[in-house]
Structure 1
Amino acid sequence: MNDFKNICMVGLGYIGLPTAVVFALRGVDVIGLDVNARAVETINQGKTHIVEPGLDDALRRTVQAGRLRATTTPEPADAFLIAVPTPFLSEGEGHDPDLSYVKSAALAIAPVLKKGDLVILESTSPVGATEQMAAWLSAARPDLTFPQDAGEDSDIRVAHCPERILPGHALTELVTNDRIIGGMTEACSTRARKLYKLAVEGDCIETDCRTAEMAKLTENSFRDVNIAFANELSLICDRQNINVWELIRLANRHPRVNILQPGPGVGGHCIAVDPWFIVSQSPEEARIIRAAREINDNKPEWVLAKVHQAVAEHAAKGGAPARIACFGLAFKPNIDDLRESPALSIATRLVQTYPGQVDIVEPYIESLPAQLEGKTQLLRPSVAAETCDIIVLLVDHDDFKSMPAPRNSTVIDTRGVWVGHDAVTPAAAPAKAEPVEAAVKELQPA
């Protein structure tokens, strides 16, 4: 039996909006709360402000059915799910987590809380964030009791349930994926599990809030470490004049080997950020996690060096300055999400270094982000392939996979789309590999 008359989704971005829609599709009345008035207006018109397959139709149906509406003003509800950003505290200066958005969300809903309500933090957070959120709520509502003070008998139940979906598959994975539910008490976990079972077909596994927080960080750190291995391998193969994608394809034929694919770095709101939360809290112990983050964060520098090399080689031939096309800005294929994208970072650096020489190809956006606006232009893939001297493939969108490899340009393929099983292009490999003889010279008999 559903004893949640309605729920409030706080934050209507890439996680919050699909989550709100999924609950609404399951017959739950959902209030969407966001500070972005334009996004709220768009949603109430039954339209989406983000790109996610299937979301447009699902949102339209739930809005028309009266199951979902958005607002900028907090309203009472039986449960509040918070999915707001948790970026770094000081961009460019460190990797400590910034919980100000979580605090703002907590203080926004505090006035409308009532006895029996459930508050769940879904934002990926450092260990202890859920307890901190509960402390902010308690300070704002001293008339109510919270788990840190009243334990199992608290007026308000508080839990952490991290999202674990893949952008581009959000609606499916929100339903089918298992969820880890970490309550501040057993009663909190039980209450939160009851809510999620209204929409989730996967298992809902109860634990404590700190373990749930660490679980999400661990999942993304595991992936980050494995991507770092692939990226480091690509650097080694570049020096040895080996096609890294062919090498990985062959190595993965071993029954217990599954090497991931290298790229220009790691982006997105999770993998590029979450491991630093572990490092920030345990700097002495998190040595492998830190090393992986540094490898992946430095991969864009390697890509830029390849472009600079190609530009210099073009200049040596004489003629007009090289035109450079960056294929892709998103952090992963077939979406419009630019958060923490290494492709966007690389393109921005190239535009700054070669003003007037760089074009952008990104089929999933209609206008350039602020840092590129007025400094470059969006081109169709076919036009860029025909007119640019250097092609830098940064995102493996299906649109790019379906087109033939450019033949009259220098190609720097960071995703293995066009050169994955062919000879490495001159722009992506050294002129000469180091001889093996030099490495084994000391092993020769006297």
Structure 2
Amino acid sequence: TTPEPADAFLIAVPTPFSEGHKPDLLFVEAASRAVAPVLKKGDLVVLESTSPVGATAKMAEWMAQLRPDLTFPQETGEMSDIRIAHCPERVLPGHVVRELVDNDRVIGGMTQRCSEAARELYGLFVRGESIVTDARTAEMCKLTENSFRDVNIAFANELSLICDRLDINVWELIRLANRHPRVNILQPGPGVGGHCIAVDPWFIVDSAPEQARLIRAAREVNDGKPLWVIERVERAAKRFREPVVACLGLAFKANIDDLRESPSVEIVKELAQRFPGCVVAVEPNIRSLPMELEGQISLCDLRTAVSEADVIVILVDHAQFRSVDPIRLQTKVVIDTRGVFA
């Protein structure tokens, strides 16, 4: 928990956004200032946190302020005492250790020597290719990867809204459209979660608000999807005098226990306020509820939830949920946001 002298330092800390979707680099600054006192000539510092363009240079500036006895790339270029680079992590939750080794890495040094030092370090364990660029391009690359995903998910989510309005089965529609050899529409869901895709596009919007119109629109579509789900549940619940609502899944994606930025958690929290004492949740990958849901809902097993619920809301397509016999759902109102039973 306290930095000690080393040859290389990897900074991998949260980079959330604050009010107004402004990037918050407080954790990066704190880590930079913690590492600075133990730096020595020849050391390498790599920022792995997904960051807005220019964050790596800011990191170097914060360190330089505390270590005037050392030179940094922004001051002396190739001849600097300290090497600074950005190498964004690129891993899939549930497969992190494997992908740390197997995936290609984009390495952006503040100078060529910085890049080469970082590439040498990652060459110790990365089997994928390490591709060198500059720091700003490396920062933008990770933001671009996540924004690409977000835009494509937004297209699927918007399709689901349109199909609901036009009384069309969106899952069948996507299956048919994807038979075109150059079409690959993703699957819609209750929104977008996780610490990357739901956050990083806002960094681009903040840096270029007038140009990032499509990226902003995609974020707004995905951020608006949970409310649409909540309204559908509310309409369905009106059929019952005292409805029991079972929400299947709290994680932000299937078969993991990660609840960060999960739209499912936000949906369940809002439903618990609208139907106090009537909401249960099933999440087979956790043992206790997150703090924000404690005292508002109960966590129960899948069999009990399906048996007792009037309204079943499928928020995550965990493998366990696919084992439910559709016959058991015939007397229930099922709102399937993931196409588990499509």
**Which band: TM-score by shorter chain?**
over 0.9
**Residue 88 (structure 1) aligns with:** 17
1:347 alignment partner, one of 268, 282, 295: 268
TM-score, normalised by the number of residues in structure 2: 0.98
Q: How far did 1:274 drift? A: 0.5
Q: Letter of the aligned partner of 2:338 in structure 1?
A: R
**Residue 400 (structure 1) aligns with:** 321
Post-superposition CA distance 1:194-247 (Å, at most 9, x none): 000111111100000000000000111111111000000001111111110111
Q: How far did 1:155 drift? A: 0.8
TM-score, normalised by the number of residues in structure 1: 0.75
1:158 alignment partner, one of 84, 97, 101: 84
Whether 1:79 aligns to 2:79 is no
Q: How far did 1:174 drift? A: 1.1
Post-superposition CA distance 1:155-194 (Å, at most 9, x none): 1100000011110111111111110000000000000000
Whether 1:328 aligns to 2:257 is no
Distance in 1, matches of 2:43 and 2:330, equals 62
Distance in 1, matches of 2:196 and 2:123, equals 25
Post-superposition CA distance 1:97-135 (Å, at most 9, x none): 000000010111111111111000000000000000000
> In terms of Rg, which structure is larger?
1
Whether 1:145 aligns to 2:55 is no
1:103 alignment partner, one of 16, 21, 29: 29
Q: Count residues in correspondence.
A: 340
Please give the secondary structure, in 1, of the residue aligned with 2:289.
coil
Post-superposition CA distance 1:314-354 (Å, at most 9, x none): 23xxxxx0000111111011111111110000001011111
Give matches, 1:312-327, under 5 Å.
312-315=238-241, 321-327=242-248
Q: How far did 1:150 drift? A: 1.2
Q: How far did 1:295 drift? A: 0.3
Q: How far did 1:296 drift? A: 0.4
2:161 alignment partner, one of 223, 232, 235: 235
Whether 1:206 aligns to 2:125 is no
Q: Letter of the aligned partner of 2:319 in structure 1?
A: D
What are the ranges of 5 or more consecutive residues in structure 1 without an aligned counterpart? 1-71, 316-320, 421-446
Q: Letter of the aligned partner of 2:177 in structure 1?
A: A
Distance in 1, matches of 2:331 and 2:96, equals 39
**Residue 333 (structure 2) aligns with:** 410
Distance in 2, matches of 1:128 and 1:199, equals 27
Distance in 2, matches of 1:136 and 1:309, equals 53
Q: Letter of the aligned partner of 1:308 in structure 2?
A: E
**Residue 183 (structure 2) aligns with:** 257
Give matches, 1:36-435, under 5 Å.
72-90=1-19, 94-315=20-241, 321-405=242-326, 406-418=329-341, 420=342
Post-superposition CA distance 1:351-397 (Å, at most 9, x none): 11111000010011111111111121110011100001110000111
Q: Letter of the aligned partner of 2:183 in structure 1?
A: V
- What CA RMSD, in Å, does the superposition of the two structures yield over aligned residues? 0.8
Please give the secondary structure, in 1, of the residue aligned with 2:217.
helix
Distance in 2, matches of 1:250 and 1:201, equals 38
Post-superposition CA distance 1:284-306 (Å, at most 9, x none): 00000000000000000110010
Q: How far did 1:143 drift? A: 0.9
Please give the secondary structure, in 1, of the residue aligned with 2:239.
helix
Q: How far did 1:408 drift? A: 2.6
Post-superposition CA distance 1:134-156 (Å, at most 9, x none): 00000011111110011111111
Please give the secondary structure, in 2, of the residue aligned with 1:85.
coil
Q: Letter of the aligned partner of 2:337 in structure 1?
A: T
Post-superposition CA distance 1:247-267 (Å, at most 9, x none): 101110100000000000000
Distance in 1, matches of 2:316 and 2:325, equals 15
Distance in 2, matches of 1:412 and 1:168, equals 27
Q: How far did 1:73 drift? A: 1.8
Q: How far did 1:404 drift? A: 2.1
**Residue 440 (structure 1) aligns with:** none
